[in-house]
Amino acid sequence: MPLPKYTTRASFELEPGVTGQRTDFKGANKKLEWDLEKFVGGVEHTLRAKLTFSQELHANIIKEAGPVSMTFTIPMYNVSRLQVKYLQIAKKSSSYNPYRWVRYVTQANSYVARI
């Protein structure tokens, strides 16, 4: 998440007992990164960040934060509900034996939320 250009320091607080999460403040390009290894369904995760600014808080600092962008992959889940019901191989080859399975994956290419 992009942070205001006057951000000098950031400290993070995760939920107690949480594992598989990592937070990082990139001071050079003023970014906050939050990595989650696994995100189990029906569970909510919270990150609290305390930011320190080199100047006094003003209205433009709040406007400079964000947008939040996410990249994620959900294996074996298909948001569109499209399914492969039938597949016919046009050119059969004796050297190639196809596997009989389909892997569904949901992947975010560009998911952005404004704060």
Question: Which long-range CB contacts under 8 A does 36-42 form with residues at least 24 apart?
Answer: 39/72
User: What's residue 105's pLDDT?
Assistant: 84
Supply the pLDDT for residue 114: 66
**Domain range annotation of the chain:** 7-113
Average pLDDT value over all residues in the chain: 82
For the whole model, what pTM was predicted? 0.62
Whole-angstrom distance, CA of residue 35 vs CA of residue 13:
14
Q: Give pLDDT < 70 ranges for the chain.
A: 62, 110-111, 113-115
